[in-house]
Amino acid sequence: MPFELPPLPYSNDALEPHIDATTMQIHHDKHHGTYVTNLNKALEGNNDSNMSIEDICRNISKFQVAVRNNGGGHYNHSLFWKIMKPQGGGEPQGAVRDAISSSLGGYDKFKETFANAGTTRFGSGWAWLVVGADRKLAVTSTPNQDNPLMDVVEMKGTPILGMDVWEHAYYLKYQNRRPEYIAAFWNVINWEEVNRRFDEAMR
């Protein structure tokens, strides 16, 4: 079965004013849509085992570079839409809050570390909050459409929060001001979904 573009779980304008409707529409329909189309093209005749996108990422070194770029793009954006929501943000609750306190020095310190990971990622890429093999939380970033599931990245883990810092994620509203987009991102985080992913990763 070919991969499909998942629908946005809210309307294009739901994250206004933090992320504008035009950016959301182009980002989801065109950018993510193209990753899905090109992933399916790259996999034609090469995914007989019907691997999940997660398993493809975990074994990405065995695939051609088009699968790494477009498969990463599909996995990353599928996660990204879900870890945001209208009227999101605020301080994390539950198990993630405790884990952020014990592994990352608390919410304020985590915000600083995560924002810094996004700001200093040169060019295009992602900042991540991951559960590592040691079952502790860590912050990392990856270039292009790589992600911490991939067997080729330096710091591996299970992503529970990801922030897209490609210019296409913010340029229409924020132009070159990536730090302003990152500051706005805190207002749209869906901490319930991050907690759900945390629980799943810790199982």
Can you give the binding site for Mn ion, defined by CB under 5 A? Answer: 164, 166
Residue (146 or 164) nearer to Mn ion, CB: 164
Edge to edge, the sheet with strand 137-143 lists 137-143, 125-131, 158-164
Long-range own/partner contacts, residues 186-189 (CB < 8 A, 24 or more apart):
186/89, 186/111, 187/18, 187/88, 187/89, 188/15, 188/18, 188/19, 188/84, 188/85, 188/86, 188/88, 188/89, 189/83, 189/84, 189/85, 189/88, 189/89, 189/92, 189/161
Q: How far is the CB of 130 from Mn ion (least distance, A)?
A: 18
The total number of residues shown for the chain amounts to: 203
Please give the residue whose beta carbon sits closest to Mn ion in the complex: 164
Q: How far is the CB of 98 from Mn ion (least distance, A)?
A: 31
Q: How far is the CB of 135 from Mn ion (least distance, A)?
A: 29
Q: How far is the CB of 137 from Mn ion (least distance, A)?
A: 23
Residue (71 or 92) nearer to Mn ion, CB: 71
Percentages of the chain per state (helix, strand, coil), in multiples of 5: 50, 10, 40
Please state whether 87 falls in left (phi above 0), alpha (psi between -120 and 50) or beta: left
Q: How far is the CB of 61 from Mn ion (least distance, A)?
A: 23
